[in-house]
Structure 1
Amino acid sequence: MAFRDRTDAGQQLAGQLERFRGSDAVVLAVPSGGVLVGTEVAKALGLRMDLIVVRAVCLERDRSLVLAAVAEDGEQIIDDDAVEAVGAAPSEIWSALGTERAELTRRVDLYRLRRFHVDLHGFIAIIVFDVLADPITAMLACRVARLRGARRVVLAAPVGTADIFTDLDDHADEVTLVIAPDEVGDPSTRFEQFLAVSDSVVLDHLDASVERDGEPDPPLTSVDHVSDLRVEAVVMLSDGAALRGIVMLPHLATGVVVFVHGSGSDATSPRDEQVATALAEVGIASVRFDLLTEFERYRGLEIDARSMVERLSGVISWMRRQVDLRGLPLGLNGANSGIIAVLALAAEPGADIVAIVSRGGRPDELATSIHDVITPALFIVGGADDAILEANRTTAMLIDAPSELSVIPGASHRFTEPGAMEMVAEITRDWFFTWMVRTHPGGTGAGPAH
């Protein structure tokens, strides 16, 4: 036997990584067993430690073959050759992906309460597994590290299969093992003790790493940040779906607005970005998200109105679990067909929504009664958008709450005319500020600049 246990293996692996002592490297431990190994590496070399949460996806009828891998940052890899080899039906793949996504969500929600993302931009990422036998999961871990900004990726483990170097040659800058078996087999047999690792053990190691590294990174704002305000995140839903999200998080936010775009747009919409920036200027956070997962986009799928409402509800649940956002007054901003999901959710009994804004939508297509919406609503329409102007005017009169219709002179449906989106952003900002900050109990803020 080469190793007594994972602790001994981590200490031996640290010896193989001595060249990184005191460097700008960050240890990324892969739960569960990799956390025990990674802790020893980080401690011995004086490096910071973070997690990189990935899960292998197998069929229930054959746990020995990895068909895919999923990661906390919304990335996934599907091995089409392996899927074809086992003759897996699409329903089997979807079921397996859903199962592992759900477990991934559970682990991320639990572990990220103790250890937030370390910013990897410009740093070396040392990804630590307890055994390196599955190339698909290792490939995905490398991809996630690079997407988080790592300038160099090192894969490290106490033991791995003999062909792992070839499998990962195009994905990692280097691979470091203490021992590499001559024949493909179960690398875990090189440990005298290789027990299952519980959540409580992982959390104990994370607590120790936070104490050793100093103050933990602030929630959300350390996740792949592009600026002081704009944060790229992954919205993990309870059904295991992972949606790309963008959070604008001003200091001491006084409210949060969730954006719902139409089916032809996504989280990176420049018009939504302009509105979100205006909201941030008055201390209101925002969450934008893709309606479809990466896999759904790849398959060319579309989303119907009911599914859009379910996705919106799931995003709100995710938002209310975030340390930075939970407890804040909530507003909804719907564009185009997204307003149907906004109004449908607002019409549900007990909907805790402070204000609504519709931009260029068709609210008259709402399947439920508009009279059930009791949330203050603003409807913004282009003056040249004759097709929806009257529908918005009628809806504004029917809502059983304070409502307004704002017409942007000369603007078309997409507000592409000079100055049109600037007016939309200002009007949207002022509406949410009025209902979130000025009229909501406990609201504070500097107010819009005119």
Structure 2
Amino acid sequence: MHATGTRFTDRTDAGRRLAARLGHLRGPRTVVVALPRGGVPVAAEVAAALGAPLDICVIRKLGVPYQPELGMGAIGEDGVRVINDHVLRPAGVTPEQLAVVEARERTELERRARRYRGGRPPVDLHGRTVVVVDDGIATGSTARAACLIVRARGAERVVLAVPVAPPEWTERLSGVADELVCVGTPSPFFAIGEFYADFSQTEDAEVLRHLAAARADEAGSAARPGSDDEAGSAERPGTGSAGVPGSDEAVPASDRELTLPAAGARLTGRLTVPADAHGIVVFAHGSGSGRHSPRNRHVAARLNDAGLATFLFDLLTEDEEEDRRNVFDVELLGARLTDVARALPAEQARATGGAFLPLGLFGASTGAAAALWTAARLGHGVGAVVSRGGRPDLAGEQALGTVLAPTLLIVGGRDEVVIDLNRRARERLRCESELAVVPNAGHLFEEPGALDRVAELAREWFDGHLLPCTPPP
């Protein structure tokens, strides 16, 4: 298989595609064990698909001193240590250099184990089938150590499952696992990240979210065996927030798919409500994006970390997206966003014990026009609006002139045409507004650090303006 044959949008996409190959492992004796940090979003999807508990196996790669990305071995919990002589000897690493690297990584391993487990014991693996999951395999040292650890903890059967690996991976690892599963083994193979459109670093907060959501889902299943969700939406671990950012005792979150009626259609979205949420932000996706957009999901995850609930949904059905005229039909998009904003309080109240969360709108491309169109209709029912690389000018002069919600327009510094359109739109706004230009960023904010800056600006704007307000009428 050529390298272009295996390509994932992000780790969540990779997890879903990997899960599709693991259905034969569904059963009460199966446990999914992730390698933090990058393997956790992948494993969360696998665990959800298999209905299995999710745990972690904390591993630290031992990188060659002058080339840290090249693994010469790995260490894990319970004192497991694996050295790759095929890397160590050619690299010329001395015993003293190896000892320094190992001591440093052992300290970090112990810190992460405390952080991720929060004092909770590992899942009991005795006599169970354990699926070890990572976001990919390069040298295989880390995966080898993980398999040895779970075997030492009593696993009866070990399955090593990854989205992508080099063609010769089975030769390297067949001796440590009973079964090897991979979505693709492309050639040539240089690095795991080249097969992901979004391979941004997984942060500790995201790891905690997934683990907390998985625990909440498992506890809910045990408490309500065989029950159906009253709203027809499936709660499951996913990309949502877990609770108090930075807390070792992560609080479970609500993270579920739900479908809402809106202006002649039924639209599916993902509602993520962190514990103690103080506001909710609805994402209005524009041309060429939807609820699976890596960029909007990246921003949403950062808002979740800050205690803001998010709802990412598609403004158009798949059939409607085929007609490009619908993408620019702001009245249609705005009417649907308005209907969703009115219906959402009842749904998010289920996750907050009845508490009402003030509403913010985040629009991208033509979705920004829909957000302002909706803000004009709902008045004080919308607390704040943020536009990312948007076309607020398409909302129309009448709508722009009646928006009450404080509005932030974010544009890339190299997106000159859109900067001008946003400046003109801002002149028509009568509400509090700002235009923020991210230096050296293009229209899609693909440059290193650009999207993180967007997320930071959005978080600050919503935190400063999402004050208690009335529900949309």
Report the TM-score when normalising by structure 1: 0.47
User: TM-score, length-normalised on structure 2?
Assistant: 0.45
